[in-house]
Amino acid sequence: MRTYYVYIMTNRSRTLYTGVTNNLARRVYEHKNHLIPGFTSNYKTDRLVHYESTPSIQAAIRREKEIKGWSRARKIALVMADNPWWDDLAEDWYD
C-alpha cells in the first residue's frame, strides 16, 4: 500500500509552496537541492514546514487543491498549528 503526501515548503522569507508526492524524502531532497526548475528553484523554497499523509492519491490531490485555494493567512495558521516555530521538519533527514 502506497502513502501519498501533501506538503508545504517555505524559505527564509516565508514564501509558501504546496505540493503532493508519493515519496516525501525524495521530493524534499529535490527542493532542498533546487533540482527541478520552476517556482521552488526560483524562490529557493527549501524548508519543509508541514506535511500530511494519506493512502489515496485522489485524497492527496483534493487536499493539495483545497490548501492551494486558501488564503495565505489560513495556510500560515495550518503551519502554526503543528509547527509554531517554522522548524524545518526535514532538517536532519540527509545527514
Q: Provide the residue ranges of all domains of the chain, joining segments of one domain with +.
A: 4-82
Of 60, 55, 49, 59, residue with least CA distance to 86: 49
- pLDDT-above-90 percentage for the chain: 96
Q: Which CATH number fits domain 4-82: 3.90.480.20, 3.30.470.20, 3.40.1440.10, 2.60.120.380?
A: 3.40.1440.10
Q: Is the pTM of this model over 0.75?
A: yes
Q: Say what the pLDDT of residue 13 is.
A: 94
pLDDT digit string, tens, across residues 48-80? 999 999 999 999 999 999 999 999 999 999 999
Task: Please compute the mean of the pLDDT values over residues 38-57 and round it to a whole number.
Answer: 96
Could you tell me the three cell numbers for 52? 500530511
Q: In this model, does residue 95 exceed pLDDT 80?
A: no
Q: What is the DSSP string of 50-90?
A: EEEEES-HHHHHHHHHHHHTS-HHHHHHHHHHH-TT---TT
- Least Cα distance to 79 among 56, 57, 54, 47 occurs for 47
Give kind and range of the element (H or E) at residue 40.
Answer: helix 39-43
